[in-house]
Structure 1
C-alpha cells in the first residue's frame, strides 16, 4: 500500500485495523483502580439487584384493599433501611423509608407528602394503585444475565454497576504500552529559553494528554535528533518497550524526514500519505515487530490524525467494544469555495444562530494553528471535491465522541 498515491481514509483504517492484534495479557485490579480500563471477561449477574422489593420513597407501605374512605389506617410498624421487615399486619400501614425492604403483605407505598397523620393513623389524600413506588427485586439486574461484556471500557457508571453486584476485584486487559517519539532539532521543552529558529515541543504534550484520555500507558516519551541513525536507534529501542510507537514529524518528503526512511529500509512501511486534510503525510509500518504510527509534525494535523486514525487503532489494540461514529448532521455556517481532492476535517463548534444550531468554523484552518482546536468542540467533515456554502448540511463529530 505504500507509495505516492493518496490513500482514502476508509482504506487506511481497514489496513491498520487488519494489522492491529488485540491485547491478550490480563490482570486483576481493585474496583477503585478500574476507571478507564477494559474488561477482560464478561460480567454475569451473581444475584438480583436489588435483592428484594424496596421502597422508592419515604412514606407508608400498605395494602390497597385496606383503604376505606374516611377511615384512617393505624401505623403498626416502622421499617428503617437495612433492617428486615416483619409481615404487615392486615388493616394497618408501616412507616417506611427510601431503600427499605417492602414488608410481606404490602402491595404499594404512598409517599409521605400524600398522607395526613393523626393519633388514629394515616389518611391517604391521593389515589393509590397496586405496586406504586415499589422498586422490584431484580429490576436493575437479574441473576444470570450478562451485565457487562468483555471489551467494555469502564466508566464511572460501570464502576457503580460492578459495585452493585458486589464485585471488588475486576479482570481487565493490560494497558496498551505506547512510546512517543517527537522529531525535530528545532524543538525545545517548555520551561527552557528559545534560541534562534527554535519552537516549543507542542506535540509531545498533546499526545501525552490524548493517550492518557485513551487509557494507554506511556512507557517512553523522547525527542529524537534529526539524523537517520538517531531515528533508527530511537525506533528500535522503543520497539523493545512498547506495544505501539507514535511519532510526530519526519514522515514527509524532506531530506530531514527520517522516520519514513527508516521504516522503509529497517522495518516495514505499508502505508504512506492519506487523502485527508490536514494530515496528508501520515505513515504506518512496523519495526522489530512493533507497529509504528507516524503522524505529521504540524500541531493541528497531529490532533486530527490521532483522532481519526490513532484512536480506532488504539481501540482495536485495547480490545474494547466500540460502536461506529455517528456524529450529527448540521447546517454549515461557513463557506469553502474550492473543494479539495482530500477529505477535510474542519476545526469547528456548534453555535446557535437565528434560533438554529449550526456549525461554525475557526477562521484559520492552517495545520499549524492549534488554537483552532481549543476554540472548537469537534470536527466538521467536508467530503472530497466538495465546496461548502452556508446552509449546506455536514457531519459534525464532537471531540468527546472521537475520544470515547
Structure 2
C-alpha cells in the first residue's frame, strides 16, 4: 500500500498552503517505482522506457573509417610532392594491402582506412594526373578519419535504464545489433469525472449543465505519455457510486485520477467515499490555477483528485501527476523542460504563490527567446490553452515580472 504523508490537518489549519515544490517531493516520495517489464521488438519501442542498462558489445564504429570521399595516405613531415595511387577502398570492401609511404588509396565515405594509412585528403583538395596524386593546401595528421570506438567504446554504457526511447536512441540500439529490447510495461491509469452538472457528449445539455472536457484532455495527455487509459466516465454525485468507481479503478489500474469534487467546501460524501476506500489528504497548494488537490492511496493504488476547472486540471496534471507517472513508468531522473525567456509584457503574481500563466513564446527579430501571456487567465478559459505553447512559471519569491526581465517557461512539447 502507498504510504501517504499527511501535509497538514485541513480542518485544524485551513489557512495553510503547501508550496508547489514540497508537494511534488511528497508525491514522489510515496509513488512506487516501475517494476513490471516486457521484451518487445525494437521497431515497436518508440517512446517506451528502457528497463535495463545497455552496454555496447563492440566498438561503434566497429572499424576506423573515412569521414569523407577522398584519398587515404600515411602522413609524413614533410609531405611528398605527390603520391602514387595504388588502389581503391569502398564501404564494406576495403583495400587489402598495407599502404606504404608515398602511396595513396582512393577511398569512399565509410570505407575502412587501409593498414598503414592515418589521414584522408578530401577529393576537392586533390588533383590526379594518371596515377600521380597532388594536393592544394595544408594537411593535418589524422584529418577526416573516424576511429574505431570513437562513438561508443566496446563494453561502455551507451543507454542507462530509465531512458525514454527516442528515435535517436532507437538508432543507437540498432547500431549495436539489437532486434528487441526490455522495457517497462505501460502504466494503467483509470480516469473519471464527478459532478451532477457534468454531461457526456451526445446528450442534451440541461440548464446549468456543462459538457465534460476534463476526461478528454486527461486522456490526450496520458496517451502522449504512453499510458493505458481506463475511462470510467462520469460518476454520479453520491457516495455509493463514487465508492464503486474507486473500487473498480483500484482493481484494474495502477493509478487513478478524478476531476472535480476536491474543493474544501465540497459535499462530505466525496471525502467519506475516499476515506472508506483508502487514505487521502485534501491539500491546498500555493499556486494558481489549481489550488485544491487531493492525493493519497485508494485500494493500495495512488489516487489524485484534480480540480474541476479545465485549465486547472491540465496545470495540476503537468506539475504533479506527470512527475508521478514518469517515476512509475521508470523515468526516475525525469525533470520538466524549463527555459528562460524575456517577458514582452508585465506579468503579475503574488509573493508566496507560484503562478502558471498560459503563454506564447517565440524568437524575436533580435534572436531572443521572448514570451507573452495569452490574455485573460481564468481557470475555465480553455481557449487560452489552445492559443498557448507554454506555461509561464512565476515562482513564489516574485510578485511581478516586468517587461524585459527573464522568466521561466515550461514548453508544451512533452504533452500538448
Q: Say yes or no: TM over 0.5.
A: yes
Which residue of 2 is the match for residue 231 of structure 1? 242
CA distance in 1, matches of 2:324, 2:332: 12
1:184-223 Cα offsets, whole Å, 9 max, x none, are: 3443444555444333322122111211222222234522
Secondary structure, counterpart of 1:64 in structure 2 = coil
Who is 2:400 aligned against? Answer: 387
Equivalent runs, 1:312-351 vs 2, <5 Å: 312-325=323-336, 327-336=338-347, 339=350, 341-351=352-362
- Conserved? CA contact 1:59–1:109, under 8 Å: yes
Report the Cα distance in structure 2 between the residues aligned to 1:319 and 1:403, rounded to whole angstroms.
17
| Change over 3 Å in CA distance of 1:257–1:159 after alignment to 2 | farther
- Say yes or no: does 1:35 pair with 2:34: no
Following the alignment from structure 1 to structure 2, what is the Cα–Cα distance between the partners of residues 396 and 309? 17
Structure 1 contact 153–321 (Cα < 8 Å) conserved: no
Higher mean displacement: 221-230 or 187-196: 187-196
Aligned 1:194-233 pairs, distance under 5 A: 194-233=205-244
Shift in alpha-carbon separation, 1:372–1:240, aligned structure 2, 3 A? same
Q: Find out whether 1:399 has 2:377 as its counterpart.
A: no
Which of 91, 116, 119 is 1:81 aligned to? 91
Shift of residue 99, structure 1, vs aligned partner? 0.8
Residues 351 and 26 (structure 1), Cα distance of their counterparts in 2 relative to 1, 3 Å cut: closer
Show the counterpart of 2:278: 267
Contact 2:326-2:334 at 8 Å conserved across structures: no
Distance 1:354 1:158 in 2: 34
Which digits, 9 at most, give the CA deviation of each residue in 1:59-95, with x for residues without a partner? Answer: 11122239522x4x33222222112431244232212
**CA–CA distance in 1 between the matches of 2:202 and 2:85?**
72
TM-score normalized by structure 1?
Answer: 0.91
Q: Which is worse superposed, 353-362 or 75-84?
A: 353-362
Change (3 A) 1:247 1:89: same
Q: Please, which runs of 5 or more residues in structure 2 have no aligned partner?
A: 1-6
Matches within 5 A, 1:290-305: 290-305=301-316
SS in 2 for 1:47: coil
Between stretches 3-12 and 365-374, larger displacement belongs to 3-12
Given candidates 372, 377, 383, the residue that maps to 1:360 is 372
What is the CA distance between 1:9 and its match in structure 2? 1.2
> How far, CA to CA, are the matches of 2:383 and 2:268 in structure 1?
25
* Contact 1:250-1:258 at 8 Å conserved across structures: no
Q: 2:163 corresponds to which residue? A: 152
1:13 aligns with 2:7: no
8 Å CA contact retained: 1:27, 1:172: yes
CA contact (8 A) 1:351 1:360 kept: no
Gaps of 5+ in 1: none
Among 251, 265, 277, the alignment partner of 2:262 is: 251
Offset of 1:308 from its aligned partner?
0.7
Q: CA deviation at 1:104?
A: 0.7
Q: Which moved more, 1:259-268 or 1:146-155?
A: 259-268
How many Å separate the matches in 1 of 2:155 and 2:285?
A: 47
Cα RMSD over matched residues?
Answer: 2.4
Tell me the alpha carbon deviations over residues 313-363 of structure 1, each in whole angstroms, 9 at most, x when there is no partner.
112222214254472333433335562653211111224568454321111
The answer on whether the counterparts of 2:337 and 2:411 sit within 8 Å (CA) in structure 1 is no
Number of paired residues?
401
Provide the residue aligned with 2:133 in structure 1.
122
User: Any conservation in 2 of the 1:204–1:221 contact (CA below 8 Å)?
Assistant: no
Partner deviation per Cα, 1:229-265 (whole Å, 9 max, x = no partner)? 1111111101101111011112124555854442133
Cα displacement string for residues 109-138 of structure 1 (whole angstroms, at most 9, x for unaligned residues): 111111222323332223222211110000
Give the C-alpha shift of residue 381 in structure 1. 2.0
Report the more deviating stretch, 190-199 or 380-389.
190-199
Q: Which deviates more from structure 2 when the two are superposed, residues 135-144 or residues 38-47?
A: 38-47
Is the 1:251–1:257 contact (alpha carbons within 8 Å) kept by the matching residues of 2? no
CA drift at 1:24: 0.9
**1:363, 1:354 → 2: CA distance?**
22
Aligned with 1:187 (options 183, 198, 201): 198
* Alignment equivalent of 2:317, drawn from 277, 297, 306: 306
Q: TM-score, normalised by structure 2?
A: 0.89
Range 122-131 or range 14-23, more displaced = 122-131
The change in CA–CA distance for 1:129 and 1:221 in structure 2 (over 3 A counts) is: farther
Cα drift, residue 268 of structure 1: 0.7
